[in-house]
Structure 1
């Protein structure tokens, strides 16, 4: 496993709850500097409490990942908090539950693609000038976006958007390779969050701990891979 210098300069999207919030907690505990982005910072009470506990090391900034104008605003504000990025965690996502074949509204598909696929791709493109050589971009994907593993008609707008996000990961890996930047698609497991639901099996702390081990070990040679929270390859 490669040793990563600390403190790293990190950006986490969708950081106000669930896996994103747990990433912020664990990165701070490791001594890293973090920008936590979410749609409504004023309502992100847990993040704001953490910012008070870690003055100068955690900044909470607004971001609507579905809106390119918001990406540009974040890119303008980010240098006031960090002088570059060593780790970009594209975590923000949406899942529309209760979909059934014949009753999947186009609004669900459009929203899912904007948030889960277009958003991470366009945000990474916008922030690319700030990525340091040797930086890592982590796109939080899902095994539900694995075409090879499709076993039923489940959460179609989510699954389609995550499959599209996986292609975005592959393309970004190639675009950023000459910069020495690794881009990974990561499956966090079925995590006990609002999105994961009551039947989920993996605690957020365990999922994030595993994902950080994967990211710590990542090099540009791993760029474009699809891995789970235990470091195992996930079929495309």
Structure 2
């Protein structure tokens, strides 16, 4: 049965690959990015799957953008679901930011605040706002990073990114508890060191391989797994 899926930050990299693979398996996808007019690859994908991909603007870090997005969704989904107006089966919070070049003694408060708004606070508040539009038994995936693992931290590196992803992990657990009564599964997922602009030239995991693995981990996850921190192959990661 066709599912309704939402992927944030879908204009490039892992988000784009996830949107494409969801469409290829027959699902209906709402894909977001901050500037849809500049999302050439995503708009091309919409042309390849007419009627099944809707590209909408969303800045997960701002309350106004989140509110406008949530108001618009029932109009988009109402024509495309057998579950009633505006019901999502899958939400993938993929949008994120990594500010590179941070050095101890020169870490900037504005950079840290931006990282937390985009990587942790935004996804949590977006999910909270979308909760009435989620189907019971839906799946939520918060794309995090092993760099958010306190146990794995062995050097001073990208403190804004690492700490915001650690916060995202806690908020994933909070969401898992909040939504458990509705049978909604919430996961924190590390996509691997992926060959994207963020991952860099030395990355070891192909984008399509990561996306394929993530979707399989999500599909296999039962309610017993809700709140877990897993990598793209389903391997548990330390907090």
TM-score range, shorter chain: over 0.9
Counterpart of 2:6 in structure 1 is: 11
Counterpart of 2:42 in structure 1 is: 47
In structure 1, what is the Cα distance between the partners aligned to 2:63 and 2:237? 30
In structure 2, what is the Cα distance between the partners aligned to 1:196 and 1:20? 13
Shift of 1:166: 0.4
Q: How does 1:17-166 map to 2 (within 5 A)?
A: 17-82=12-77, 83-166=86-169
Consecutive aligned runs of 4 or more in structure 1 exceeding 3 Å deviation: none
Q: Check conservation: 1:189, 1:229, Cα contact below 8 A.
A: yes
Q: Check conservation: 1:84, 1:132, Cα contact below 8 A.
A: yes
TM-score, length of structure 1 as denominator length: 0.97
Q: Check conservation: 1:134, 1:219, Cα contact below 8 A.
A: no
Deviation readout 1:172-215 (Å, 9 max, x if unpaired) = 00000001101000000000000111111100000010001100
Match for 1:215 among 192, 215, 218? 218
3-state SS in 2 of match to 1:81: helix
In structure 1, what is the Cα distance between the partners aligned to 2:63 and 2:230? 28
Counterpart of 1:231 in structure 2 is: 234
In structure 2, what is the Cα distance between the partners aligned to 1:68 and 1:203? 34
Shift of 1:31: 0.4
Q: Check conservation: 1:34, 1:59, Cα contact below 8 A.
A: yes
TM-score, length of structure 2 as denominator length: 0.95
3-state SS in 1 of match to 2:129: helix
3-state SS in 1 of match to 2:31: strand
Deviation readout 1:100-148 (Å, 9 max, x if unpaired) = 1111111110000000000100000000000101100100000000001
3-state SS in 1 of match to 2:227: coil
In structure 1, what is the Cα distance between the partners aligned to 2:74 and 2:40? 24
3-state SS in 1 of match to 2:230: strand
Q: Which runs of 5+ in 1 are unaligned?
A: 1-5
In structure 1, what is the Cα distance between the partners aligned to 2:34 and 2:169? 23
Q: CA RMSD in A?
A: 0.7
Shift of 1:150: 0.5
Q: Which runs of 5+ in 2 are unaligned?
A: 78-85
